[in-house]
């Protein structure tokens, strides 16, 4: 089984990468501080959060247990703290690393819920 935190090797055929953003690239967006980059960062992480929440409903299984009123800035802070603590994952897929960061920041106290 492939490592979900490893970056996808997707090439446009001309040496340029296409598609998936790495955790390091997302961290740079979050750190940059321009209105666009902050909005991009928060929207990306909110999208990961909301997608996992929808998936959890379908599977009836919890991946992480953030409070219902979690703020987008909290998601960003959790992601940035995880990447800072685990620089070896900077080349991993941003969405996968974000899920692991959220799981670490808000673990569920009982398995599956």
CA 94 – CA 3 distance, rounded (Å): 13
List the end-to-end C-alpha distance of the chain, in Å, as a whole number. 25
- If you write DSSP's letter for every residue of 34-59 in order, what string do you get? SHHHHHHHHHHHHHHHHHHHHHHHHH
Q: What is the pLDDT of residues 22-39, one digit of tens each?
A: 999 999 999 998 999 999
pTM: 0.79
Higher local confidence (pLDDT), 45 or 14: 45
Q: What is the pLDDT of residues 41-79, one digit of tens each?
A: 999 999 999 999 888 888 888 899 999 899 999 999 999
**Is pLDDT at 16 greater than 50 in this prediction?**
no
Long-range interactions of 35-38: CB distance < 8 A, separation 24+ = none
């Amino acid at each position: 089984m492939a490592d979900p935190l490893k970056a996808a090797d997707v090439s446009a055929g001309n040496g340029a990468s296409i598609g998936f953003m790495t955790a390091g690239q997302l961290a740079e967006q979050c750190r940059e501080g321009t209105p666009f980059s902050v909005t991009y960062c928060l929207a990306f992480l909110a999208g990961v959060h909301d997608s996992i929440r929808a998936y959890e409903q379908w599977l009836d299984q919890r991946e992480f247990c953030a409070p219902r009123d979690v703020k987008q800035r909290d998601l960003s802070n959790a992601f940035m703290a995880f990447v800072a603590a685990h620089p070896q994952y900077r080349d991993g897929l941003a969405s996968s690393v974000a899920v692991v960061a959220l799981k670490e920041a808000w673990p569920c106290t009982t398995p599956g819920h």
